[in-house]
Amino acid sequence: MHTPTETEVLAAADAIIDAFRATDTERYFAGFAPDATFIFHPEAARLNSRDEYERLWAGWVESGWRVTGCGSTDRLVQVFPGGAVFSHTVATSIDSADGPDAYVERESIIFRTTDDGGLVSIHEHLSTTPSEETS
């Protein structure tokens, strides 16, 4: 079983982040397995598949939402045979029908290796930062 390198994990994470930053739906969702799950603190329930998240995303985009900036700091990669955990602090700026907004969150992305030696995300988890919780 392949243990990915830190470089491979960072490349896979950066591909997801870069596609998110560009609001590039096709490229963004290509980084996630069909059975990936998602936990986002603003959402009432876990999303149990990439398809569920794609439907939610499509609704955001249709309502005028788009990402205008996305930065990644405090990055940590933890590898293990067959996968890895990538965590970071993510600062996002968006524009929507309600106007511009910006927020800082913590994010974990869990990857598994693919048969061709690549990486695909199987879980993404967003949480607030302590400064947001106390403000």
pLDDT in tens, 85-106: 999 999 999 999 999 999 999 9
Looking at 3.30.70.20, 3.10.450.50, 1.10.645.10, 3.40.640.10, the CATH number of the domain 6-134 comes to 3.10.450.50
What is the percent of the chain with per-residue pLDDT over 90, rounded to a whole number?
91
- pTM of the model as a whole: 0.92
Mean pLDDT of the chain: 94
pLDDT at 72 over 90: yes
The domain spans of the chain are 6-134
Dist CA 87 CA 59 (whole Å): 27
Dist CA 11 CA 111 (whole Å): 12
